[in-house]
Amino acid sequence: MSSPPHPHLGRAVRDRRDGRLGTISGQLVERDTETGRLLRRRIFVRPQGGGIEWEAAPEDLVPA
């Protein structure tokens, strides 16, 4: 079972937790193997100007 990509994949976003700016580079979706129920969606954000990616919750990301 697949999940739709984050609606801002490849676009600039701001992390509401700390104000960092970056571009969503990908996501990892974890599902229960028996039921297919969504367990967790991990969003990876690459900082503008380079640096180490960080992980953010989808609800913490807003368009920049």
Render each residue's pLDDT in the chain as its tens digit; 64 residues: 567 777 888 899 999 999 999 999 999 889 999 999 989 988 999 999 899 999 999 999 999 9
Note the pLDDT of residue 8: 82
Note the pLDDT of residue 62: 95
Q: Which of 2, 50, 1 has the alpha carbon at shortest distance from 25?
A: 50
Note the pLDDT of residue 7: 81
Note the pLDDT of residue 12: 95
DSSP for the chain, please give it.
Answer: ---PPPTTTTSEEEETTT--EEEEEEEEEEE-TTT--EEEEEEEEEETTS---EEE-GGGEEE-
Q: How far apart are CA 50 and CA 42, in angstroms?
A: 20
Q: How far is it between the farthest Cα atoms of the chain?
A: 41
